[in-house]
Structure 1
Amino acid sequence: MKKTLKNFIFLPVIIAAALAFVFIQVKSKQAIEHQDVEFPVKTVEVLTVKKIPFRTRAVAYGNVEPATVLKAKSEVNGKISYIHPELKQGGSLPKGTTVLKIETTTFEISLDSSKAGLASSQSSLKQIEAEEISAKRSLQIAQKNWNLELAELERVKVLVEARTLARNQLNIEEQKVLQLSSTVQDLQGKVDTYASRKASIRAQIKQSKSQVDQSEDSLIRTEIVLPFDARIGSVSVDVGEFVAAGGQLFEALGIEAVEINAQLPIKHLRPLATTMNASDNTPLANLQDSANLQKAVAQWNLEAKVRIVGGDLNTVWDGVLLRISESVDPIRDTLGLVVAVDNPYKGVIPGVRPPLLKGMYASVEFLAQARDMLVIPRKALHEGRVYVVGKENTLSIRPVQINYSQGQLVVIKDGLEEGDKIITSDLVPVIEGIKLELIESDEFQKEIAALALGIK
């Protein structure tokens, strides 16, 4: 009993001592220092946004076709008598070369016959004209005789009335007047017929001349002469073969120029169209209205670079935009831009620079004239947003509106201003407001400027 009581007395003392020890230890321990934790400063590459000269570009594709194609057909019936030795597929012949002849015997006979008919008609006309002159002279003589006889008749009448001349003499004079009157009328009638006879002969002469001209024309058409320097396509006839009028002879392809009907998607045409009428700030033509486009193409100063698809990219021909197709292809949603290239055989280097041949598949790069635009690299764009350096070099995320994209560049419509600094390098993590350390590269700025002008 005494032992239990003794333990009960010392237990509170022990607990109090333990609490005192803990209190002293807590009070004597130094306070924990708190430190503010921040994200480390991120080093980023930046680009200063500014308007730079920018050339809008678009690429279209099409097949090369000669600007001039002659599909020679026979204009007369006949047998082939001559073919030039170089009139073969792939051959080259200069302008003015006689390449093919058709047998001329039939046409020469026809020409001689026509000329003979013409000569006969002309001779008949001369004979009639001579007869007319003679008849008119006879008529003049008959009229004079008639007039004299009329005067004599009046004199005889006076004498008969004076009873100094017998009455039968009056009857004789009247008979002479009647005969001369009949002669005058006959000659006058004959002279009057010469006008219609000459008109008939002149009609015959005109017809004969037409026959001569037709025969001469047919004779000329038996000889085929190249109207331009050409390469020969297909040849459909051979010597000794009969060919009917309208029959195919050969195909000749002009070598002075080629054309490419380059098909450009409408969505790629629209950026180019923004350069239309830029000089006078007139409204753009409706892209579906070919008439308006055709008028605008004269002012649409596009540069065209032609390359062979699959060939050396450094092998380039300068083209000229001639016209725009009359309608949009509803299946491919493309519009044809017809480009001409002069002297496609000039500067040919075998194995290096080929000529532009019919059927080659070519690309045509259209470049508009340079205009100042707000341009940024595509890699600076992140799902419609751009990372901009804000106040005190902190990150600001800003949405932008894109006008259009072109290769590695993007043309900005709204959301950025000149002088803004945008981040062009990768940034992780992307937290608005984090501190940035900026690195600006003049070389990258020059590279963007070169890309904008299409130099690279």
Structure 2
Amino acid sequence: MENTIQTEKREGASKVGAVFMGLIAVVVIAVGVGIMMVMVKNPVEATKEERRELIPRVETVTVDEINYTVQIATQGQVLPVTQTQIISEVGGSVTYVSDKLKAGGAFTKGEEMVRLEQADYEATLANAKAQVADAKLNLAQEEARAEQALREWKKLGRGEQASDLVLRKPQIESAKARLESSEAAVNKAVRDLERTVTRAPYDCIVESANIDEGGYVAPGGRIAEVYASQKMELRLPLSLEDVGFLPEEFKGAEATVRAVIGGKPVTWQGKIVRSEGGVDRETMTMMMVVEVVPKQGEQRFALPPKGLFVNGEFQGEKLEGVVRVPRQALTGEGKVYVMGDDNTLRIVAVEVERTERDYVIVTKGLKQGDQVITSPIELPVEGMKVEPVKQKGLK
């Protein structure tokens, strides 16, 4: 019986809980409906603002069609046209060394640089001359004997013709050969004596000296290294693009050489004398050799000093009716942005003939008076409005 009473109590509690939850739901719905009716009767009005269009501000340049001579610039080092290692052709003790035989010393062609002991070579020459005299005497004697033998043969009348041996022809040939050998020995002795004096092979400057007075020089010993003082040349690397803009007959093309010495600009003129041929695989360049012309009437820096690092400039091909545009105006897709007359953006594809350090040379796509935009635009769209802030011409 107790179990029946507990069951009836639980059922009664469940019914009460269900009624309570239903009342809560009705209250929530009623409150929500009331709030909604209030909001409908009192709507919130949104603040209306006028939409502002963002117009990018740009810098522009006015371009012109011009006739443009391509400027080709490169850099290189000054080298002598001729450089020689002077060696001694004979040996001997050094009896004289010029005071100018030092690094930087200058010699004129034929000027004495070094002298060796000459006594032994003078004696050799005298001996060779004596041998020549003996050889001449021997030849004269053999020729006299030959004439005597021929007369005797004719008197005896033995046979139609005397043999070469009877007429002493082999002896005469031998005497002549000895004379020629003796004369050659004299010539060699004269040359050896002359070689004891070393002279400058051309107008030159001493690079280094390897000899001192009182020393000994063996045949083939090094005396000095010199280079020509009247001519200098430059080895200037040019890119394949630059080579393409040189005149077809580039040999003889003029070049301007510039350097700064002591804070002052110095200029020389030169011309291409040859190309070393071939292409450097690492840099994809060709080497042009420019010979520098000495400046007339100037004693100091008439030629650029050896080893000086200089800038070289060439006048290349002449391009007609092209447009020169600042390099920063060109996009990566080969296009430029142009501002139209109504301040709208035009995206123009161009054909670039040449790229230089600060400019590109355009042959197609632009015309006289176009306003080319040089400042970057984040999201360029054809026809969008732009606002110019600076307009200028090209330098």
Aligned residue pairs: how many? Answer: 345
Does structure 1 residue 194 correspond to structure 2 residue 179? Answer: no
Q: Is the 8 A contact 2:343 2:386 kept in 1?
A: yes
Tell me what 1:270 maps to: 241
Q: Tell me, yes or no, if structure 1 residue 218 matches structure 2 residue 192.
A: yes
What secondary structure sits across from 1:71 in the alignment?
A: strand
Secondary structure of 2:181's counterpart equals helix
Instruction: Give the match for residue 152 of structure 2.
Output: 138
> Which secondary structure does the structure 2 equivalent of 1:370 belong to?
strand
For 1:169, the equivalent position in structure 2 comes to none
Distance 1:326 1:426 in 2: 42
For residues 401-453 of structure 1, give each alpha carbon's deviation from its aligned partner in whole angstroms, at most 9, with x where no partner exists.
43331122102254x14336132454768553256788997x824x2xxxxxx
Question: % of aligned pairs identical?
Answer: 25
Matched, 1:433 2:386: no
2:75 matched to which residue of 1?
Answer: 60
Superposed CA deviations along residues 368-397 of structure 1, whole A, max 9, x for unmatched, are: 143323322224324432122447564311
2:323 corresponds to:
374
Secondary structure of the corresponding residue to residue 168 of structure 2: helix
Determine if the alignment matches structure 1 residue 444 to structure 2 residue 393.
yes
Residue type at the aligned position of 2:245: T
Deviation for aligned residue 1:127 = 1.3
Q: CA deviation at 1:238?
A: 1.2
1:72 deviates by 0.7
Deviations 1:161-195 (A, max 9, x none): xxxxxxxxxxxxxxxxxxxxxxx46x945873411
Q: Secondary structure at the match of 1:90?
A: coil
Equivalent position SS for 1:315: strand
Equivalent pair of 1:307/1:315 in contact (CA under 8 Å):
yes
Matched, 1:72 2:86: yes
CA distance in 2, matches of 1:378, 1:216: 71
1:396 aligns to 2:346 (yes or no): yes
Change (3 A) 1:339 1:44: closer
What residue in structure 1 maps to residue 125 of structure 2?
111
Relative distance call for 1:424 and 1:272 in structure 2 (3 A) is farther
Q: Is the partner of 1:329 in helix, strand or coil?
A: coil
**1:356 is the counterpart of 2:304:** yes
Which amino acid in the other structure matches residue 185 of structure 2? Answer: Q
Matches within 5 A, 1:19-418: 45-61=60-76, 63-143=77-157, 184=158, 188=162, 192-264=166-238, 268-277=239-248, 296-298=249-251, 302-308=253-259, 312=263, 314-343=265-294, 347=298, 356-372=304-320, 373-383=322-332, 384-390=334-340, 394-414=344-364, 416-418=365-367
Tell me, in whole angstroms, the C-alpha distance in 2 between the residues paired with 1:273 and 1:221. 51
Q: Which blocks of at least 5 consecutive residues in structure 2 are unaligned?
A: 1-49
Give the TM-score normalised by the residue count of structure 2.
0.75
**Contact 2:292–2:303 (8 Å) recurs in 1:** no
**Quick check: which one's strand share is greater?**
2
- CA-CA distance at 1:219 after TM superposition: 1.2
CA distance, structure 2, for counterparts of residue 88 and residue 400 of structure 1: 61
Cα distance 1:354–1:134, how it changes in 2: closer, same or farther (>3 A)?
closer
**Quick check: 1:67–1:259 contact (8 Å CA) kept in 2?**
yes
Q: Distance in 2 between matches of 1:125 and 1:40?
A: 113
CA–CA distance in 2 between the matches of 1:191 and 1:426? 107
Structure 1 gaps, min length 5:
1-34, 144-183, 278-295, 448-456
